[in-house]
Copies of this chain bind each other. A is one copy, B any other.
């Protein structure tokens, strides 16, 4: 563990088939005012909305609602939520939905009592959180982002066409998160698959850096292996509780900070995808999958040893009679085949991108990377390679 770190994650996670039974006890820790945040109504279809409202009633809460949170939550929704918090004596923001809803809850909490422009302060200048916030609770219905146990909040500013993620400190981690794998059953297959590749990408972005023996790398490989296995089982049978519960917990563990400790990390694929998302509104995980393959094919030579390890330890590639280059490429090929198995499109075109968007996307992403720092030109080439 080459680099010093601080690890602190105070989210209380209730996991399993009866996890929702814990909601009332959690609600009792807070005052009367609840802002209930959710998306476009899929929680109504699965009956979760009614169950949550019933528990809120039993707990005698005054509920204000904000619904219609988008898959790429918008800054205007954040401002609307912030206004509702200020006007309704909100003591808790309860996010019911996927990672977008939880991301939006964090942004609302950070913005409600921010005295300057929240977008500028938190998503442009990346200032530390220093204003009053409202605690957040989550009931998760989709596995992927890991937002249920971290401070990440990705917001799209429609006026500037920038989709930007930032990581808040622990005051904005959900105080509690309720994870029932059965709530993810109704997610459409392409959304499930998008979530799965999002998790894979979180793992890759943390993994592909450094050359030391690091506990985190071993943990990442473990999560990757089970994720792959569980994804195959879930594709085969979406009602496989073992598979769906492992995917859900892998998603949380993949981004609750633990497996990135003492790693420099990469995150360039996420940076590029966020801008793709701002332009196309495509599902995040699908964008990640399409970009990842040419990205890793371009950078692997700069971190060859790690890509060999990836091929060997995660995909079981045999080293016999092969050069390191060949083994490394076999690992990336296996990742590509995994994306195919999941039925993920292979091009940005299929995700709704137009050719003229590519330079706009490439030049709006900050230059960065892991084993290789990428220029805007190099990012553009990667986008062209998967267009």
Contact = CB atoms under 8 A, between A and B. Distances in A.
B4 A214 contact: no
A5 B10 CA distance: 16
A195 interface: no
Contacts of A5: 15-16
Contacts of A10: 8-10
Given A7-B12, A15-B7, A215 B258 contact: no
Contacts of A114: none
Size class of the A contact interface (CB-based, 8 Å): 35 or more
B9 A15 contact: no
A14 interface: yes
7 contacts: A1-B15, A1-B246, A8-B11, A213-B230, A219-B253, A221-B222, A222-B222
A350 interface: no
A22 interface: yes
Contact of A12 (B3, B8, B248): B8
A258 B219 CA distance: 12
A229 interface: yes
Interface string A253-291: 100001001100000000000000000000000000000
B22 A181 contact: no
A20 to B, nearest CB: 11
A22 B5 CA distance: 11
Given A13-B7, A13-B8, A215 B226 contact: yes
A63 to B, nearest CB: 25
A316 to B, nearest CB: 12
A13 B14 CA distance: 22
A324 to B, nearest CB: 21
B4 A18 contact: yes
Contacts of A12: 6-8
A245 interface: yes
B246 A213 contact: yes
A249 interface: yes
Contacts of A250: 215
Contacts of A215: 223, 226, 246, 249-250, 253
A2 interface: yes
A66 B221 CA distance: 44
Interface string A10-32: 11111111110010000000000
Contacts of A22: 6
Contact of A17 (B4, B18, B212, B226): B4
A19 B1 contact: no
Contacts of A225: 218
Contacts of A249: 1, 215, 261-262
A59 to B, nearest CB: 19
